[in-house]
Amino acid sequence: MTINEIQDELISDFELFDDWESKYEFIIDLGKQFPPLEEQYKTEDNIIKGCQSRVWLNAYMDGDLLKFEADSDAIIVRGLVSMLVKVLSGHTPEQIAKSDLYFMERIGLHQHLAQTRSNGLAAMLKQMKAYGFAFQAKSVNA
Amino acid sequence: MSHNLNIASIRSDFPILNEVVNGKQLVYFDNAATTQKPRLVLDALSGYYEHYNANIHRGIHHLAEKATSAFEQSRKRLQAFLNAEHSEEIIFTYGTTDGINLVASAYGRKFLKEGDEVIISTMEHHSNIVPWQMLCEEKGCILKVIPINDEGELLMDEYEKLLTEKTKFVSVVHVSNALGTINPIKEIIQKAHAVGAKVLIDGAQASSHIEIDVQDLDCDFYSLSLHKIYGPTGMGILYGKRDLLNAMPPYRGGGEMIKEVTFAKTTYNELPYKFEAGTPNIADVVAAKYALDYVDALGKPQIAAHENELLKYATNAVSEIEGLRIIGQAKEKVSVLSFVIDGIHHQDIGVLLDQQGIAVRTGHHCTQPLMNRFNITGTSRASFAVYNTIEEIDRLIQGLHKVRKMLG
């Protein structure tokens, strides 16, 4: 699936919910099901500090594909992080670098991306794209 | 003590309380961060811009005179609010942080030297830590910290042990923003003076709850922000004893703070203008007077009585929430309820309460060393003001039950 196909699928998942409670219960469930990042990757280098919650992001190449693993100490942020990983992980660096993420806004969760200082999500997204650019440059140079 | 305030009528003075958030009537419990503004403050702001906006002090036209007069009336009003001896002891600043920086910079850099000691406390806001760290780094001074007990009260015995002839400055918070603790500042000031140290009180949280008499306290400096006293954002005042302010060099250079400028030498203006370089925040200073009028018309003891009722009710009510622990259980407290819930991140609490239209603050409240003392990364904090009600606290309790259910 392409990045946009995954985004569209998430948007249609969320269309099922007609109140905030079921929407957030779903995000909380996503957070609970998301596999925790192994402790060895919860390093200072991988941490994206928000004012309130912490987010860790680990990136690695698997063949031609850039993959992400992530974690957070707050469960709702964890659920949101899991969606960003679901959408962006496992594509080429170029696709990730060029991606246009619209699903958060369409689901009505864009305020979580705007609160840069408080949850680190916007910084995480920026970092994911930066990895895309960095690995793209590396493969061009190689 | 009970009060005779008509809370419904007070609520109608605050237009913002009618806002609907996420489909629900707003419950605003983030008053320790900033209070909402009554209609007369909003009217004073627009009235200033509509009728007498002008730059102050140097103009000879009608508007400039009117603006200058209103600006200086606010200074007199703040003098009365703090019972300062002289109006020139009231320096307009951008807020509490600005006032602390002014003292750390202008007083600290002139009068402190290598090896001198500065005392702060464990419960300081970063605003009352970082300026002193910067000063200590620059001058080679030593920063000492008064410890606290598990209830969130200063250990006064330990404070006394820290005081020596090397202590040159003590800077402590009147009321903790994260815990609500009211500190015994009069005693702190007396003890510091006994060893010859000067004292600054960070009054950001205290000023809307507690009557402040700087002469009775005998503090050397007192810094506060008007936006926490139902006034406008972006302005505060620094009170300083006149002799000390006179002895201090200016903090910023620019217009207003000078007497005469030549390229060879500049002579500085007198107090308070020496510390008010540049065009000040005229509109907000003018409107601040109306906020103080509003508070004094209600009466601080009345406000405190209502807030204490809310605090008592809320403290009791949250005890039914499973796994909830209050952080900050000092005997003397203002209406701040800081808490953690076992196994639930404070940010998740904040997000889910917000969905229910309830505004609380979550995080470390700019008091990271204090959070470290309690071995936590942050709390959720509900802080109450004069316009809050028991019914709103009931909404918070229901909201917290829902949070528990969703995250349990």
Q: Are residues B75 and B199 in the same domain?
A: yes
pLDDT above 70 covers what percent of chain B?
A: 100
Instruction: Tell me phi and psi for residue B381, to 5 degrees.
Output: -130, 120
Task: Supply the pLDDT for residue B218.
Answer: 98
Amino acid at A32: K
Q: What is the mean pLDDT of residues A57-61?
A: 96
Task: Supply the pLDDT for residue B259.
Answer: 87
Angstrom distance (rounded) from CA B229 to CA B296: 11
Q: Are residues B49 and B130 in the same domain?
A: yes
Cβ count within 10 A of residue B1: 9
B36 in a structural domain = no
B369 in a structural domain = yes
Per-residue pLDDT for A116 more than 60? no
Q: Do B348 and A76 touch (CB under 8 A)?
A: yes
Task: Supply the pLDDT for residue B345.
Answer: 95
B185 in a structural domain = yes
Instruction: To the nearest 10°, report the CA torsion of B3, B4, B5, B7.
Output: 90
The string of pLDDT tens digits covering residues A62-107 is 999 999 999 999 999 999 999 999 999 999 999 999 999 999 999 9
Task: Supply the pLDDT for residue B260.
Answer: 87
Amino acid at B263: F
* A19 tagged catalytic: no
Q: Are residues B55 and B83 in the same domain?
A: yes
- Pick from B22, B348, B402: which is nearest to A74 by CB? B348
CB pairs under 8 A between A and B: 43
Q: Are residues B267 and B354 in the same domain?
A: no
Angstrom distance (rounded) from CA B70 to CA A39: 61
Q: Is B277 helix (H, G, I), strand (E, B) or coil?
A: coil
Q: Are residues B286 and B334 in the same domain?
A: no
Q: Are residues B256 and B230 in the same domain?
A: yes
**Site from A19, A24, A52 to mutate, B interface, most B CB atoms within 10 angstroms:** A52
How big is chain A by its Cα radius of gyration, in Å?
A: 15
B330 in a structural domain = yes
Amino acid at A81: V
On whether any CB of chain B is under 8 Å from the CB of A76, the answer is yes
- Pick from B345, B402, B406: which is nearest to A74 by CB? B345
CA distances from A42 to A39, A48, A56, A77, B10 (A): 5, 10, 6, 16, 50
DSSP letter string, B202-235: E-TTTTTTS---HHHHT-SEEEEEGGGTTS-TT-
What distance in Å separates residue A39's CA from the closest CA in chain B? Answer: 19
- Tokens representing B12 are 């109608």
Q: Which domains does chain A have, with CATH numbers?
A: 3-141 (3.90.1010.10)
Angstrom distance (rounded) from CA B144 to CA B162: 7
What distance in Å separates residue B333's CA from the closest CA in chain A? Answer: 25
Q: Are residues B287 and B304 in the same domain?
A: no
Q: Which residues pair with B144 in a beta bridge?
A: B119
B345 in a structural domain = yes
Q: Find the chain B residues whose C-beta atoms sit closer than 8 A to any C-beta of A.
A: 22, 344-348, 350-352, 355, 362-364, 377-378, 402, 406-407
Mean pLDDT score across all residues of chain B:
96
pLDDT above 90 covers what percent of chain B?
A: 94
Angstrom distance (rounded) from CA B80 to CA B96: 18
Least confident stretch, B67-71, B264-268, B340-344: B264-268
Q: Do B22 and A20 touch (CB under 8 A)?
A: yes
CA distances from B42 to A63, B19, B184, B235, B291 (A): 62, 16, 35, 15, 10
Angstrom distance (rounded) from CA A106 to CA A7: 10
Q: Are residues B180 and B305 in the same domain?
A: no
> Which residues form the domain of B311?
7-30+300-407
Complex ipTM > 0.95: no
DSSP A37: P
Q: Are residues B360 and B400 in the same domain?
A: yes
Q: Are residues B305 and B284 in the same domain?
A: no
Angstrom distance (rounded) from CA B84 to CA A12: 64
Establish how many alpha carbons lie within 13 A of residue A92's alpha carbon, considering only the half-sphere containing its beta carbon: 9
* Confidence grade of residue B255 (pLDDT, cut at 50, 70, 90): confident
Q: Which residue of B has its CA nearest to A28?
A: B407
Q: Which residues pair with B117 in a beta bridge?
A: B142, B167
| C-beta separation of B255 from B282 below 8 A | no
Q: Is B251 helix (H, G, I), strand (E, B) or coil?
A: coil
What distance in Å separates residue B363's CA from the closest CA in chain A? Answer: 5
B143 in a structural domain = yes
Q: Which of B346, B303, B40, B186 is nearest to A75 (CA)?
A: B346
Strands (E), B221-345: 221-225, 236-240, 258-261, 266-268, 324-326, 336-341
- Pick from A20, A28, A53: which is nearest to B347 by CB? A53
Instruction: Tell me phi and psi for residue B362, to 5 degrees.
Output: -130, 150
Among the three residues B271, B296, B321, which one is the final residue of a domain in this structure? B296
Q: Which of B205, B172, B177 is nearest to B190 (CA)?
A: B172
Q: Which residue of A has its CA nearest to B345?
A: A74
Angstrom distance (rounded) from CA A79 to CA B71: 51
Per-residue pLDDT for B405 more than 90? yes
B1 in a structural domain = no
Q: Are residues B288 and B307 in the same domain?
A: no
- Pick from B355, B378, B407: which is nearest to A52 by CB? B378
Residue B323's CATH number: 3.90.1150.10
Q: Which residues pair with A59 in a beta bridge?
A: A68
B260 in a structural domain = yes
Domain count across chain B:
2
Q: Are residues B363 and B381 in the same domain?
A: yes
Q: Which residue of A has its CA nearest to B379?
A: A52
The string of pLDDT tens digits covering residues B235-244 is 999 999 999 9
User: Catalytic residue among B136, B141, B219, B366, which?
Assistant: B366
On whether any CB of chain B is under 8 Å from the CB of A53, the answer is yes
Task: Supply the pLDDT for residue A123.
Answer: 86
Angstrom distance (rounded) from CA B167 to CA B187: 16
- Tokens representing B320 are 């039914």
Among the three residues B261, B280, B296, which one is the final residue of a domain in this structure? B296
- Pick from A20, A21, A52: which is nearest to B347 by CB? A52
Least confident stretch, A121-130, B91-100, B149-158: A121-130
Angstrom distance (rounded) from CA B28 to CA B14: 11
On whether any CB of chain B is under 8 Å from the CB of A118, the answer is yes
Q: Is A70 helix (H, G, I), strand (E, B) or coil?
A: strand
3-state secondary structure B164-197: CCCEEEEEEECECCCCCEECCHHHHHHHHHHCCC
Q: What is the mean pLDDT of residues B251-276?
A: 89
User: Catalytic residue among A1, A51, A130, A137, which?
Assistant: A51
What distance in Å separates residue A4's CA from the closest CA in chain B? Answer: 27
Among the three residues B272, B296, B320, which one is the final residue of a domain in this structure? B296
Per-residue pLDDT for A140 more than 70? no
What distance in Å separates residue A53's CA from the closest CA in chain B? Answer: 7
Do β-strands A47-49 and B167-173 pair in parallel, antiparallel, or remain unpaired? Answer: unpaired
Q: Do B406 and A24 touch (CB under 8 A)?
A: yes
Establish how many alpha carbons lie within 13 A of residue B314's alpha carbon, considering only the half-sphere containing its beta carbon: 31
Q: Do B407 and A53 touch (CB under 8 A)?
A: no
3-state secondary structure B85-139: CCHHHEEEECCHHHHHHHHHHHHHHHHCCCCCEEEEECCCCHHHCHHHHHHHHHH
